[in-house]
Structure 1
Amino acid sequence: MNAFTYRGGVLHAEAVPLPRIAESVGTPFYCYSTAALDAAWHAFADAFAGSDVTICYAVKANSNLAVIRTLAQRGAGADVVSVGEMRRALAAGIPPERIVFSGVGKTAAEMAEAVEAGIYQINVESLPELRALSAVAAGLGRRAPVAVRVNPDVDARTHAKISTGRKENKFGIDIDLARAVYAEAAALPGIRPVSVAVHIGSQLMELEPFRMAFERVAELVRVLREDGHDIRRMDLGGGLGIRYRDEAPPSHGEYARIVREVAGALGCHVTLEPGRALVGNAGILVSSVIYRKEGVGRNFLILDAAMNDLMRPSLYDAWHTIVPVKEPGPGSAVQPIDVVGPVCESTDTFAVQRPLPPVAEGELVAFLSAGAYGAVMASTYNTRPLIPEVLVNGSDFAVVRRRPTIEEILAAEAIPAWL
């Protein structure tokens, strides 16, 4: 579903014209569509209808409370990677028994809070972490439900910076060492090994890497059962890609078929952890043009949004389609132009020589497919306040995170007495 369309020559989010939001909250701002979140959720949920599957939204993709609540109301659990994300999930209404805690570097304090909250599962990624969790849980008089995240050494065929399933990546325990790790887990106090977990990366455009990883995990489950471990769960992570430019991601139905084919015969409850696939195309970034700069050899469109607001292009060389909020007229000529922000870094560049129709100073542009890893990765670099987030529902919209003032940013700091 495309919730962002032109109506009467103006780009709308559902039934709300984007200039109306800009007048209310200023620019730049993020805008999310309830209808798009709903459609993305149902595409996943419907594909797995009738299967013993829990869909746990990967909160790191977009941790806004209103976004989490929207998905929670539709039945989503949560995959979290910090105690802060766990508290967000709980605050948004996701019950602890639907929360999975992942991540390679959980502290003892985070472990204790997760154990005391009674969450569904803690995904352990190293032997030191397993032993630390044992000490924490035993000290609380609890047994923590644990999945060991294995690294299957499968190439996800995605961007190197979002690949997580190769031997050289920091994630998980080598799958060839898993039997010994489960043997130790079963002998440790405070540990209840219940599942095997895997996640090979993000923005996957092919199904074969999923199949290869899932088959390796399924075989491990069989071996662990032969060893006497009562493994009744499989955590197959996330990673299904979305369309940013001209990609052709696999369908949810094709993905679900592979999950069923590989996991179905084992009788395991399956946990899936999509993030980008649920929120990526449900959000946009709207920005104003400050200047059109005529350079020697090339021209620049200077925006009030910057790399601190949307890191993906500078971090991953990521593509975001950029469109004028005012619909170009029929046959409007396009010219290549560099789209940049005001931050004092050469990497504050969104697009190089991007063919765009004419956009004047003061007009609005929108970055599409910005619902995932946009606002959640933003910073206050150059003492630029975090930008507002807005949720649209039909003809209504609400600010779901306001823009802090510079005074509020400064108030968080202190000058020591000797200065």
Structure 2
Amino acid sequence: MDHFLYRDGELYAEEVAIAEIAAEVGTPFYCYSAATLERHYRLFDEALEGTDHLVCYAIKAASNLAILKLLGDMGAGMDVVSGGEYARARAAGVPGERIVFSGVGKTADEMRMALEGGIRQFNVESEPEMLALNAVALELGVRAPITVRVNPDVDAKTHAKIATGKSENKFGIPISKARAVYAEAAGLPGLEVVGIDVHIGSQLTDLAPFREAYEKVALLTEELREDGHDIRRLDLGGGLGIPYTNSNETPPLPRDYGAMIKETLGHLNCEIEIEPGRLVAGNAGIMVSGVIYVKEGDGRDFLILDAAMNDLVRPAMYDAHHDIVPVKEAEPGVEPARYDIVGPVCETGDTFARERDMSVIQAGDLVAFRSAGAYGAVMASEYNSRPLIPEVLVRGDQFAVIRRRPSLEDMLNRDSIPEWL
């Protein structure tokens, strides 16, 4: 469920008409619903009710400070994968003890930043990283709390570019080596082993791969405890999928996911951490674009938008589907038209949809890309020297620009020409 609904033929975000935002902010822009973000966070928190747990929002899904503050004020932890994301979490008021640091390429500077600023744990991904973290911790005179991310060699049955739990993926330590790696970690004086980490991929639409991975983690927990390790925390990652179309897509619900976690791991009496991102933010955001031209081609018509692949790269990168709807609802009984929906960037890949049926559209109309709240704004670029687009947050009948649109001058001023030119 989200809070983007039609009223009297106009698309609204909560109590605010999308056309009203477009008139003030201009297009294209991202728009988020605070009520949807709050609801989705609560679904995960309630799914783990009765267990000692922390829901750590995965910042990489949507990292605007306003979104982080909204969730952090609700008690969410944060899962970060860079020093920049760590800085964002702290700037949003999230305390270090609720921040988990993941990622395969943490630098010594990032480790130092987190140790000095406060950290719940590092999810260590390799033995070289473990040695580097130990050295930084000893330099600072502290002990770094760690889990080791294990790779359970489980096929998440998701897109190849977002699968992370198979043996050929770059993430984690093979679960077959885990006992030896934990023994090594226990011998490093700058580290404190607190638990196990696992994450097998993103946009999973079936609980079976999760169950397979978590059963392996349960067995490993018992083995590591037999080896003398105090395994008291299990970080289970994120990855639960969302429906991107209005079809019969039915990814598992958070309550079913929570029940499966309790069934497979509840007997271990460990604190549970989960790191949802997409399901919290995905359907909480839309991208709104204006139609520049309707172009008649040879056997097909094109909607040429003012948004492009640099603003929303998922269709070009992942062949991802987004429902694209008119901001002004079609009149009942009007036959749909078929369009290729494209942007102005000079790439054939700048195509959002092919042969998409929708209501008849004219130049100047507005369209909205649903389910664009996750991996939309955060993956945007300035390709073709197109400035980043604004982000807007709605709550009830209020809206605010939470990232303004840079001017061309702002963009150009980031470059510098050497004196010798």
TM-score range, shorter chain: over 0.9
Shift of 1:139: 0.8
**CA offset at residue 181 of structure 1?**
0.4
Structure 1 residues 4-403: aligned runs within 5 Å:
4-245=4-245, 246=247, 247-403=249-405
CA distance in 1 between counterparts of 2:387 and 2:300 reads: 30
* TM-align CA RMSD: 0.7
Deviation at 1:77, TM superposition (A): 0.4
Give TM-score scaled by structure 1 length.
Answer: 0.99
Mapped to 1, the partners of 2:189 and 2:31 lie a distance apart of 47
1:220-246 deviation per Cα after TM superposition (whole angstroms, max 9, x unaligned) = 111000001111110000001111013
Instruction: Letter of the 1:330 partner, please give it.
Output: P
Deviation at 1:8, TM superposition (A): 1.4
Matches of 1:157 and 1:126, distance apart in 2: 24
Identical positions, percent:
63
Q: Give CA-to-partner distance per residue, 1:180-215, whole Å, 9 cap, x none.
A: 100000001211111100000001000010000011
| Counterpart code for 2:53 | V
In structure 2, what is the Cα distance between the partners aligned to 1:51 and 1:185? Answer: 28
Describe the SS at the equivalent of 1:182. helix
In 1: Cα distance, 2:374 partner to 2:225 partner: 38
The alignment partner of 2:393 has SS state of: strand
DSSP-derived class of the 2:263 partner:
helix
Which secondary structure state, in structure 2, belongs to the residue aligned with residue 302 of structure 1?
Answer: strand
The whole-number CA distance in structure 2 between the counterparts of 1:101 and 1:397 is: 32
Cα distance in structure 1, aligned partners of 2:79 and 2:211: 21
Q: Which residue type is aligned with residue 290 of structure 1?
A: I
CA distance in 2, matches of 1:257, 1:328: 41
Distance 1:278 1:357 in 2: 30
User: Contact 1:334/1:357 (CA < 8 Å) preserved in 2?
Assistant: yes
Report the AA paired with residue 6 of structure 1.
Answer: Y
Q: Tell whether the 8 Å contact from 1:135 to 1:189 is kept in structure 2 after alignment.
A: no
Shift of 1:294: 0.3
Cα offsets for 1:262-291 (capped at 9, x unmatched) = 111111001100000101000000000000
Alpha-carbon distance in 2 for matches of 1:243, 1:90: 31
Runs of at least 4 residues of structure 1 off by over 2 A? none
Q: CA deviation at 1:9?
A: 1.1
The alignment partner of 2:57 has SS state of strand
Cα shift at 1:41:
1.2
Aligned partner of 1:71: which letter?
A: L
What is the letter of the counterpart of residue 335 of structure 2?
A
Q: Within 2, Cα distance between the matches of 1:210 and 1:73?
A: 29
Aligned partner (choices 406, 409, 414) of residue 408 of structure 2? 406
Partners of 2:258 and 2:350 lie apart in 1 by: 39
Separation (CA, whole Å) in 2 of partners of 1:359 and 1:35: 30
Aligned-partner Cα distance in 1 for 2:355–2:224:
54
Aligned-pair distance for 1:21?
0.3
Counterparts of 1:140 and 1:42, CA distance in 2: 37
In the alignment, the residues of structure 1 paired with residue 49 and residue 126 of structure 2 have an alpha-carbon distance, to the nearest angstrom, of 34
Structure 2 residue matching 1:329: 3-state secondary structure: coil
Matched letter for residue 322 of structure 1: I
Query: Contact (CA 8 Å) 2:95, 2:118: kept in 1 or not?
Result: no
| Displacement after TM superposition at 1:418 (Å) | 1.4
Amino acid aligned to 1:298: R
> Helix, strand or coil for the counterpart of 1:265?
helix
The aligned amino acid for 1:141 is G
Give the partner amino acid of 1:105. G
Instruction: Tell me, yes or no, if the aligned pair for 2:341 and 2:353 is still in contact at 8 Å.
Output: yes
- Deviation (angstroms), 1:2: 2.5
- How far apart, CA to CA, are the structure 2 residues paired with 1:47 and 1:125? 28
Deviates more, 1:67-76 or 1:148-157: 67-76
1:79 alignment partner, SS class? strand
**In structure 2, what is the Cα distance between the partners aligned to 1:187 and 1:46?**
38
Report the TM-score, using the length of structure 2 for normalisation.
0.99
Taking the aligned partners of 2:136 and 2:72, their CA distance within structure 1 comes to 29
